[in-house]
Chains A and B, each alone.
Chain A
Amino acid sequence: MSTSFEKMDEFVNLKETELRLGLPGTDNVCEEREKVSCCNKRALPSEIESSTRKSETSPPRKGQIVGWPPVRSYRKNNIQTKKNESDNEGQGIYVKVSMDGAPYLRKIDLSCYKGYSELLKALEMMFKFCVGEYSERQGYEGSDFVPTYEDKDGDWMLIGDVPWEMFVRTCKRLRIMKGSEAKGLGCVV
C-alpha cells in the first residue's frame, strides 16, 4: 500500500509544477472538457448554461434526459394513471415486454415513440438483439428474433402489420420471439 501513496505524491507534485496559462488557483477544466469528447450522449441543458460549457454538437437524445428526474421506473410505471382532469399529456402507455430466453420482463412507454422504427430501435437496445428486415409478405427476415405483440383480442400479431396509431391503441403487451416459433408467425400474412 505504501507504493500507492508514493504514486499519489507523484501526481500531486506534477500538478504543483504544471505550467498553465491560467491564474494560480484556477483549473484548466475548460481545456480538459473540450479535449474529452464529442460523444456526450446526454442531451444538452437548455436555458441556463454556464459559458464555459462549450459542448460539441452531438445528436441530443429525444428531449428527455435519461434517468432524470431521479424517479425509479417502478414508481413511474405504477403511479395511478387515472386522472380526474381530461388532460392526457404525459400519461404514458406502458406495456410489458418480454423476450424469449431473457429472465425478466421490462416495461416501456409506447407514447415515447413516434413510429415503428423508433420502437424497434429502442427494443434492440434494451434487449441487445437485432430484428431482421421487415417486409409485408415475409415478416422479419434475417434474424432469429421476431418482435410480436398481443392485441386487445388476445391475438399475437407481428409488430408492423397494422398502422402505428392502431398498434398503440390495441397493443396489450410485447414479446420478442425467438427461433422456430417466430418463423411460423412471420409467415402468416
Chain B
Amino acid sequence: MTQDRTEMSEDDDDNSQSPPLDLRSAAIADHCSSSSSSTPNKSRNCMALNSQTFPDHVLENVLENVLQFLDSRCDRNAASLVCKSWWRVEALTRSEVFIGNCYALSPTRLTQRFKRVKSLLLKGKPRFADFNLMPPDWGANFAPWVSTMAKAYPWLEKVDLKRMFVTDDDLALLADSFPGFKELILVCCEGFGTSGIAIVANKCRKLKVLDLIESEVTDDEVDWISCFPEGVTSLESLAFDCVEAPINFEALEGLVGRSPFLKKLRLNRLVSLEELHRLLLGAPQLTSLGTGSFSHDNAPQSEQEPDYAAAFRACKSVVCLSGFRDLMPEYLPSILPVCSNLTSLNFSYANISPDMFKPIIHNCHRLQVFWALDSICDEGLQAVAATCKELRELRIFPFDPREESEGPVSELGLQAISEGCRNLESILYFCQRMTNAAVIAMSENCPELTVFRLCIMGRHRPDHVTGKPMDEGFGAIVKNCKKLTRLAISGLLTDQAFRYMGEHGKLIRTLSVAFAGDSDMALRHVLEGCPRLQKLEIRDSPFGDVALRCGMHRYYNMRFVWMSACPLSKGCCKDVARAMPNLVVEVIGSDDDDDNRDYVETLYMYRSLDGPRNDVPKFVTIL
C-alpha cells in the first residue's frame, strides 16, 4: 500500500540518517563554486580505471547515468561526498530536494548547487509553534524561496511545504512562474486565502495534486472551485478539508465529473451528507475520501432519503476514510460497506461513543492506520485490539483537551492495544491516567515501534496505581523497542528516565520533553548518550546552562534545539553562539521584554550555512 503522506501530517517523514546539507559538503560546495574552472586532474584520482585515457566529461556522463537512479537523499548525500566530480554530478542529477529547516541555508545556495530541481520539500517553523509557544510573524516565509526558484527552476513541478508562511502573492508567483507545475502540498501553513488558491487552480493547467492540510486559509469569499479550467483535468488529489469557507457545490460536482484521474478527495465541513452522496455517485474510482460534515443541512426528510450505504457500496476502491466533521451518528453505519477494505480510518474530529464505534470497527480487519478521539473509550480500544491485527499506526486525541478533563482512556486501552496489535509501529496517545506496567507491556509486545508518543495530560502525574514516577515505563520503551526513532515523554519523570534514554536510545532522532526531569544531569544524559539525535524540543523543564554546554559537540549535527521556559541564561547562550559560529542562536522573547534581563524565555538554535537570517522580527534576538 502506498503510504498516504498526507495522513502523516504530524509526523516527520524523513528516514535519512544524515543531514541533508551538512557542513562538510558545504565546504566542498564553497570550494567548488569558487573554482568553477576546477582542474580535471583531481577528479581522476577517484576512478579506479586507467583514467588517463578517458576524457573527464565521459566519466562524468557515465556517473550521471548511474547517479540518476539514486533516489534516497541519504544515498545522494553520501555520494556527493566522495569527491568533487561526484559532488558536481550528484548536484546536476538531484531532482528532489528536502530542506528540513528553511533557515539552514539561503535560497540562493540551493539554486547555485542544484541545477535541475523539479521538486522541493521545505519545512519552516519548529513544531512547538503549533502550540502557541511562539508569537506570530516569527518568519519561515516562502517568498524568498519562490522568487529565487522562479528564475532558477522554470521546470519546477512540485512544492511541499510544512509550517511555512505563504502569501497569496507567493501563490500567484508560483502559478505564473512554473508552467509545468503539478503538485502543491501545504501542511500546517498559513498566510494565504482562497484567492491564492483560486490563482493556482486557474493557472496551473497541469495540476495533479492540490492538498491543503491543517492549514489556516482565510475566506476571501472567492469561488475558487470555479476557477479550475474547463475540460478534463489532470487532478489526482484534491484536499481542502481545512478550508473554512463555503464552496460552490455545483462547480465541485462538475469538477469531479471531469477529473477522471481523481483518486483522493477531501471535502470540508461545509459539504453536507446529501452533497457527498451526489459526489460519490459520480466518482466511484476514489481511493481516499474525506467526507466533509457527514450531517444534513436541514432537517432530514423522512421519505426519499438518499441511500448512503448504496453510494458507499459503489465505492469499491476506497481504502482511506476521514472527515466526519459534524457527524450525525445515526448515519455512521452507511460506511459499513467499505469498512472491510479500509487500510486507513480517521475519526479524530468526531465524537463517537463506544456503542456507535464497535459495530463499525468490527469490520475493519485490514486497518493499518487509525486516528480517533478518546470518546471511543478503553472499550473502543479493546475493540480495535480485537479486530485490527494489521494496525501499524494509532493516534488517540483528547475530545476535551484540558488538563483537568475526565479522560476516558487509560492504561487499559494501551494494554489492550499492545496485546492485540503486535505490528504496531507508531503511537500517539493522550490520556489522563497511565501506569508503568502498561507502558512496559507495550514495549515488550510491540517490538516494531519506531514512534512512541505518550501524553499524560496532567503535568507531573505519576503512575496512578503505584504512585511512582513513569521512569520505568519509558525506560522499558527505549530498552526494548530497538527501532525507536521518535519519543515524546510525559508524566512524573526523574533524571532516571533520561539516564535510560541516554543508555539505550541510540537510534532516537526526535525527542519531545515537557515538564520532566530534576536537574541538568537529565539533559546531559541525552546529549551525551543519543548519537542520532536531530530534533530536540524541551519546555518547562529544569535544564540550565550546565546542560546546554554539554551538547556543544552535537549541535552542528542536529537540525535544531528548542528550549522554552527552562532556566537558561542569556550569557550562556551567548557563549554557545560565540563558540559555534555556524549555529544560529535565537532568543525569542515576549512582548514586554526587558533587555537587561538575563532570562531566556525561549531558545531556538539551529545550524546554518548562511549565517543569521535577514527577516528577524522584533521579538527575536540572534546572539
Contacts and interface: CB of A to CB of B under 8 A. Distances in A.
Interface of A: 1, 3-5, 7-8, 11-12, 15, 26-27, 29, 32-33, 35-37, 39-42, 45, 47-50, 52-53, 64-76, 78-80, 82-84, 90, 96, 98, 103-106, 125-126, 128
Given A41-B590, A71-B398, A27 B546 contact: yes
A78 B217 CA distance: 14
Pairs A-B, 5 closest by C-beta atoms: A67-B131, A37-B599, A7-B579, A71-B401, A69-B457
A32 B548 CA distance: 13
Nearest to A47: B460
B601 interface: yes
Given A33-B567, A76-B401, A80-B349, A65 B459 contact: yes
A68 B349 contact: no
A80 B292 CA distance: 12
B540 interface: yes
Contacts of A26: 519
B460 A48 contact: yes
19 contacts: A4-B581, A7-B579, A27-B546, A36-B569, A37-B598, A39-B597, A47-B460, A48-B460, A66-B131, A67-B128, A68-B131, A69-B403, A71-B131, A72-B130, A78-B269, A80-B325, A80-B327, A84-B353, A125-B591
SS of A interface (majority): loop
A52 B132 CA distance: 28
A1 B219 CA distance: 50
Nearest to A8: B552
B4 interface: no
B351 A90 contact: no
B398 A69 contact: yes
A171 B390 CA distance: 47
Contacts of A11: 549, 552, 575, 579
Given A29-B520, A65-B459, A73-B132, 4 more contacts: A27-B520, A29-B567, A37-B567, A69-B401
Interface string B130-161: 11110010000000000000000000000000
Contacts of B542: 29, 33, 52-53
Contacts of B591: 125, 128
Given A27-B519, A70-B131, A80-B326, A103 B191 contact: yes
Nearest to A125: B591
Interface string B200-243: 00000000000000101011000000000000000000000010
Contacts of B553: 5, 8
A77 to B, nearest CB: 9
B190 A104 contact: yes
Given A45-B460, A66-B131, A98-B218, A37 B597 contact: yes
A90 B398 CA distance: 12
Contacts of B167: 103
A65 B132 contact: no
Given A40-B565, A73-B132, A75-B397, A68 B459 contact: yes
B278 interface: no
A67 B576 CA distance: 28
Contacts of B403: 65, 68-69
Contacts of A75: 214, 348-349, 397, 401
Interface in B91-106: none
A58 B131 CA distance: 22
B221 to A, nearest CB: 12
A50 B216 CA distance: 40
A39 B457 contact: no
B459 A45 contact: yes
A69 B455 CA distance: 8
Contacts of A41: 565, 590, 601
A80 B545 contact: no
Contact of A79 (B349, B546, B549, B578): B349
Nearest to A28: B546
A67 B565 CA distance: 12
A48 B528 CA distance: 29
A79 B518 CA distance: 35
Contact of A36 (B188, B269, B567, B581): B567
Given A41-B601, A71-B398, A27 B580 contact: no
Contacts of A36: 544, 567-569, 598-599
Interface in B507-542: 514-515, 518-521, 539-540, 542
A3 B552 CA distance: 12
A72 B599 CA distance: 27
B132 A67 contact: yes
Contacts of B549: 8, 11-12, 15
